[in-house]
Amino acid sequence: AARRGSGPARAGAMAGWSAMADAAGGVARECWPWAAFFHACYWACRLAAPRLFETYESIERDKRGYWCASMVSSFHAVLITALSVQAMASDPALLSGADFFHSNPLSRRACRVFLGYIFSDLLLSLYYRARWAGWVENLVHHVCIMATWGIFITTGSGQFFACVAQICELTTPFINQRWFLYEAGLKSGKVYMYNGLAIVLLWFITRIIFYSVCGVKMVLSFGDMARLGYLRAGTIMFCYTAGLLLQYFWFFKIMRGALKNLKSRPKTGTDDKKQA
């Protein structure tokens, strides 16, 4: 009996995986123009960076690749945040997040832009691998996004969660600016300190509070999500959990770095008293 029952179950699982493979092909066709666009931006930055930044020529070759990838990610962060805010602001039903399957053309476009960028950045990450710090965490992050956003795009579901997660990219330009300032030897300046404070504040608001609230809302929406099938619903929940753990892990590292930086700064008031 166990063997007879396993046949239909195996056939059902194979059909599910086949459907997901077909859906992946459809997602690729929708998102590849954006992937090509962001990859072209990367190579444009490789041409422009030597003429725009003196520091660029003095850093290692692998870091030059990271520099240009960071320029593209900052541009993408501004673009995707604007597109996601526009999609939510123009549609009160989407903003409420009450209907897991509600979407609009603007939200679906934002998802395609986001996934196209993620694919482009993933290619660079796979090329450089360990030559870029934190590449394993970045790989996990990108693979989870591709799996989840692929489902969101093909089914038109989860648009509220997608837009909120995309708005979290608001922190990216500040993260990149911190690295630029560090490589330029400006770690002791006030701009570096204020940029660090902005990172802590924005990360806590967007990637800790907003992202955690999304998790609660996602659990409450699991009944609707189950209409996608348990394979897809389980994929979304697994990838969200992995993403949430990464947000808390990165926030821990950010806080540790911020506290270390504050402790290492000279106390100007004390120094002035000593001089007096």
Residue by residue, pLDDT tens for the chain (276 residues) are: 445 555 665 665 566 566 656 666 778 888 999 999 999 999 999 999 999 999 999 999 999 999 999 999 999 999 999 999 999 999 999 988 889 999 999 999 999 999 999 999 999 999 999 999 989 999 999 999 999 999 999 999 999 999 999 999 999 999 999 999 999 999 888 999 999 999 999 999 999 999 999 999 999 998 899 999 999 999 999 999 999 999 999 999 999 988 887 777 666 544 444 444
Per-residue pLDDT, 96: 86
User: Distance between CA 16 and CA 20 in Å, rounded?
Assistant: 6
Q: Are 150 and 98 in contact (CB under 8 A)?
A: no
Per-residue pLDDT, 23: 62
Q: Are 111 and 84 in contact (CB under 8 A)?
A: no
Amino acid type, 169:
E
Task: Say what the alpha-carbon torsion angle 259, 262, 265, 269 is, to the nearest 10 degrees.
Answer: -140
Amino acid type, 12:
G
Per-residue pLDDT, 264: 77
SS3 at position 104? coil
- Residues 6 or more apart from 236 whose CB is under 8 A from it? 148, 151, 158, 218, 225, 228
Per-residue pLDDT, 5: 52
- Residues 6 or more apart from 188 whose CB is under 8 A from it? 265
Cα distances from 150 to residues 143, 162, 254, in angstroms, run 11, 11, 30
Q: Are 102 and 158 in contact (CB under 8 A)?
A: no
The owner of tokens 């940029």 is 195
Q: Are 118 and 159 in contact (CB under 8 A)?
A: no
User: Distance between CA 115 and CA 150 in Å, rounded?
Assistant: 8
Q: Are 236 and 225 in contact (CB under 8 A)?
A: yes
Element (H, E) at 189: none
Closest CA relative to residue 171, chosen from 84, 39, 78, 71: 78
Closest CA relative to residue 211, chosen from 255, 251, 256, 178: 251
DSSP 218-248: HHHTHHHHGGG-HHHHHHHHHHHHHHHHHHH
pTM comes to 0.86
User: Distance between CA 79 and CA 37 in Å, rounded?
Assistant: 13
- Residues 6 or more apart from 235 whose CB is under 8 A from it? 147, 148, 151
Per-residue pLDDT, 163: 96
The owner of tokens 């459907």 is 19
